[in-house]
Structure 1
Amino acid sequence: MDTRVVFLSACNEIAAQLEGFKTLEKGQRLKKISTDKDIHFEIYFQSSFRNDSSSIQILPHINIYSKILKKWQIEQRKNEYSQGLIYGNQIGYLTPFNNWKEWNLAGLSYQNSITEITESIQKYILSIFEIFSSKETAIDFLKNNGTKFNQWTEDSISPLDFLLCFSEKETAEIFLNNFVDYCPYKSNILKLYENLKSENEIDLNYSEFHGADAIKLAYVQGLKIQ
């Protein structure tokens, strides 16, 4: 059987076991919209150009977006390509696998992989989506926990834009400082913040290191690092 057919069949079998998701791109992308119609949750199944009859890889990712945040980012960053992304990750990093995870759909691996992916989504991903089903719940969670949604996930600076857009300045500042305190490249952030004081023009769409664009936006918005 054609590897693409096998891949899409697996995507749709997984989708059939998840309630409330709309299938797009022949099942490769699943989408669910929050009750307030602003935030939408996405599960995307990445394939591999190296697929053959003995190895058909499927790599699941999640993304959480906000339409209001997208408009806000376009205005603040002066970037028409802003997507309104709140948070995204590869499922392997959000589960006990705690690593980049690929599943094989070829041969006898097919059903086991579908079962494992579906269970991972049901046990560990839907609870993350639930946090963001309410902006108030999400803001409170991020303020107190950062992006440590469970014992395997790591802190990410990604939701800072979301907090700048929807929460009080003080809340975004708490989130930022909590992230910086435990960030392995804290010295880079502190150095950047200091250098920004002498910058005449700040490019909010360029990152000297991972997350530097968000750090710059925080500076422009008047957030202080303790």
Structure 2
Amino acid sequence: MSKKPREIFLKGCNEIAEVLILHGFKVAQKGQTVSKRPNKDITLQVYFQSSHYNDENSVTIIPHITVYSKAVKTFDIKAYKNEYCTGIVWGKQLCYILGAEYKIWNLAKTSYARTVSEIQKALTDTVLPLFDVFCKSPGEIIEYGITQKLDISLSYFLVFGGKETAERVFQTKINQCQYKGQYMKLYNTLLNMKEDNIDPKYNEFVGAGEMKMAYLQGLRLR
């Protein structure tokens, strides 16, 4: 009797997770989530997403790589006025860590072994070294984030780097963004608003909420 797509998916998750368990990670949600807390603040997580449209010929698996911070979560809940903030410091789908193109992997039939091997290799060769960065001190994380343009949450810089460092990162991020004009239009609008009327929970476009949060924290653009 053939296995159901859900069974195949979870089997793949657990096999892939074996390379992470060797490094102290623990599985949850029947293997769909694998995480590790290297210190009291940071949580490293790999989450395997699937699809409602799986069948015997296609069992989707999409690895999401995320780093969380307890300190950032506490800060964000207050700064964004949103109790549902999770404290994300950095995160990407695995495919975007490996390259610029979107990709999903298939665990069905003959693709199973190749997919498990490919994702295990990517986690071992690329993701674990990135995770190692977040096991270091906040100062080292900040330095790496700036020099390697890692797109770490601005909140992390505010919490651990101070206003001056955060403002410099904020300025650089806006200057290098292809949507700079859109950001500057919003920024100029904020300059003429009362702070009580600024809602960082609301995103007119991607990144708008973060800009509002930064403005409310006293960061300014030149």
- TM-score normalised by L of structure 2: 0.93
| CA deviations over 1:146-189 (Å, ceiling 9, x no partner) | 21xxxxxxxx4x51011111112111112112211210100111
2:32 corresponds to which letter in structure 1? Q
> Could you tell me which residue of structure 2 aligns to residue 162 of structure 1?
156
Structure 1 residue 82 displacement after superposition: 0.9
Which of the residues 119, 122, 128 maps onto 1:120?
Answer: 122
2:75 to 69, 72, 75: 72
SS of 2:40's equivalent in the other structure is coil
Distance in 2, Cα, partners of 1:180 & 1:102: 30
Q: What is the Cα-based RMSD across aligned positions, in Å?
A: 1.2
1:190 is displaced (CA, Å) by 1.0
Contact 1:61-1:89 within 8 A present in 2 as well: yes
Paired AA for residue 33 in structure 2: R
2:214 and 2:149 mapped to 1: Cα distance?
16
* Letter paired with 1:121: L
Unaligned runs of 5+ in 1: 148-155
After TM superposition, give the deviation of residue 204 of structure 1 in Å. 0.9
The aligned counterpart of 1:140 is 143
Kindly indicate whether the alpha-carbon contact (under 8 Å) linking 1:61 and 1:91 is maintained by their aligned counterparts in 2: yes
**Secondary structure of 1:64 counterpart:** strand
Give the Cα–Cα distance (whole angstroms) in 1 for the partners of residues 146 and 16 of structure 2: 33
User: In structure 1, what residue type is equivalent to 2:165?
Assistant: T
TM-score by length of 1: 0.91
| Counterpart position of 2:202 | 206
The correspondence for 2:133, drawn from 127, 131, 134, is 131
State the partner residue of 2:107: 105
Match of 1:152 in 2: none
> How many Å apart are 1:133 and its aligned residue?
1.2
For structure 2, which runs of at least 5 residues remain unmatched after alignment?
none
Separation in structure 2 between the aligned mates of residue 17 and residue 74 of structure 1, nearest angstrom: 34
Given that 2:19 and 2:124 are in contact with CA atoms closer than 8 Å, whether structure 1 keeps it comes out as: no
Q: Does 1:41 align with 2:35?
A: no
- Paired AA for residue 27 in structure 1: G
Superposition misfits of 4+ residues, deviation over 6 angstroms:
none
Greater fraction helix: 2
1:150 aligned partner: none
